[in-house]
Amino acid sequence: MENINIGVIGAGFMGKAHVVGYSNTPKLFWPAPAMPVLKTVCDIVPEIAEDAKVRFGFEKSATDWRDVIADPEINAVSICTPNDSHAEIAIAALKAGKHVLCEKPLSSSLEDTMAMADAAREAAAKGVIHMTAYQYRRIPAIALAKRFIDEGKLGDILNVRCTYLQSWSADPSSPLSWRFQKDIAGAGTLGDIATHVTDIATYLAGDIDEVTGLLRTYIKERPVQEGGVDLLGTVKLDDNAKKAPVDVDDEVSFLVKFASGAIGSIEATRNAWGRNNHITIELHGTKGTVAFNYERLNELQVCFADDPDHFRGFKTVYTGPAHEHGDVTWNIPGMNIGYGELKTIEIFDFVKAITTGEQPSTNFEVALRVEQVTAAVARSAESGQWTKVAA
């Protein structure tokens, strides 16, 4: 079996998630398409890099991503750094012939994302794989919804309602990490989490043509976090901490028109007390409905119009070995998968793409389309108008 030597760039929360995926791919999917080998982990903070090497079992650590890309032994990289650095790293990696799995959003500006898609197109012609980390469309229950749609069981799609609600930044004393700074993140919830459900909406219902949206920033300044990895609201800083302005959105709401004629709505917030990683997708068709909630990610609710009147209603399908990527779902439906298995499905898809040479479903072209939608939402929030998604 072929070895694929991996470099993980950025050793924070997301770096850890990718490592879980690489380590578990051969454990959960066997025979694995190839064996991922944890070669080098890179972080600009030397102690974090060294710590990650030991903890995750990498052969080497580095503090400059250029050393990872220049290493002829490295075949593929995961980019898990803040958004503003993705473009430079990804473009250099693609030019060097390394397969790239990049966290979302692809970058902090549409211009950079377009440059990344150009570089990906050129590299793909030489057999290089490019992928964006939109893991949630790979949830077996979402894949099952897609199957019902493709089989025509839901009829014509009328409406897609999506929400991504979190609470980790609802407390004003949660620190100002890079996620609240426009020059690094590019956007707030719009780039960070609305992109995930936009990806799912387009995966299920096709291209979005036009949007109208609103953005809101509720907490205008936050205490500054000095150094360290992003702790996503798990720490609170006291009133004496230095404060700095927030210049991205805390919440976004938008209406969409799909090319198919379907309509829909997408909402995302990081300020919804009581909502943690609350992703909901509800899709109504002429012949039925599917409904999903990430906090019960092993379940899909389905209702079919052609059930008799006295019998019609939602039923719950527990996903398991009978469903897409059933290999990771243990032997009995209801034993359940979680975030770690989901990241493993994503990494499995990346490793499989590298071995087959077929671009994954969440390649850079698909991510560019998602970011064209979110850029149109930002323009619409400024103008107050319905706005076409640029082709």
For the record, the structure tokens of 289 come out as 């409905």
Q: Minimal CA–CA distance to 178: which of 218, 232, 215?
A: 232
Query: Residue 47 and residue 9: Cα distance in Å, rounded?
Result: 14
Query: Residue 142 and residue 324: Cα distance in Å, rounded?
Result: 9
Least distance between ligand SOE and beta carbon 313 (Å): 31
Contacts of 243 (CB under 8 A, 6+ apart): 176, 221, 222, 223, 224
Nearer Cβ to ligand SOE (40/166): 166
Nearer Cβ to ligand SOE (16/325): 16
Least distance between ligand SOE and beta carbon 13 (Å): 7
User: What spatial distance separates the first Cα and last Cα of the chain, rounded to whole Å?
Assistant: 41
Least distance between ligand SOE and beta carbon 298 (Å): 17
Nearer Cβ to ligand SOE (37/232): 232
Query: Residue 61 and residue 84: Cα distance in Å, rounded?
Result: 22
Q: Are the CB atoms for 161 and 280 separated by under 8 Å?
A: yes
Query: Residue 266 and residue 354: Cα distance in Å, rounded?
Result: 33
Least distance between ligand SOE and beta carbon 192 (Å): 5
The residue sitting closest to ligand SOE, measured at its beta carbon, is: 192
Q: Minimal CA–CA distance to 247: which of 276, 204, 208, 215?
A: 215
Nearer Cβ to ligand SOE (201/317): 201
Least distance between ligand SOE and beta carbon 99 (Å): 21
Nearer Cβ to ligand SOE (53/104): 104
Least distance between ligand SOE and beta carbon 98 (Å): 23
Nearer Cβ to ligand SOE (248/368): 248
Nearer Cβ to ligand SOE (39/137): 137
Least distance between ligand SOE and beta carbon 374 (Å): 13
For the record, the structure tokens of 165 come out as 């609600």
Query: Residue 101 and residue 1: Cα distance in Å, rounded?
Result: 21
Least distance between ligand SOE and beta carbon 48 (Å): 17
Query: Residue 29 and residue 145: Cα distance in Å, rounded?
Result: 23
Nearer Cβ to ligand SOE (183/307): 183
Least distance between ligand SOE and beta carbon 137 (Å): 12
- Taking residue 333's Cβ as centre, other Cβ atoms within 10 Å add up to 18
Least distance between ligand SOE and beta carbon 95 (Å): 26
What are the backbone dihedrals phi and psi of residue 189, each rounded to the nearest 5 degrees, phi first? -60, -30
Nearer Cβ to ligand SOE (166/374): 166
Nearer Cβ to ligand SOE (265/277): 277
Binding region for ligand SOE (CB under 6 A) = 166, 192-193, 232, 270
In a 10 Å sphere around its CB, with 0-12 CB exposed, 13-18 middle and 19+ buried, how is residue 240 labelled? Answer: exposed
Provide the sign of the torsion angle of the four alpha carbons 178, 183, 188, 192, taken in this order. negative
- CA 277 vs CA 7, 95, 163, 174: distances in Å: 28, 36, 10, 17
How many distinct helices (H) and strands (E) make up the chain? 11, 17
Q: Minimal CA–CA distance to 349: which of 126, 2, 18?
A: 18
Q: Are the CB atoms for 138 and 328 separated by under 8 Å?
A: no
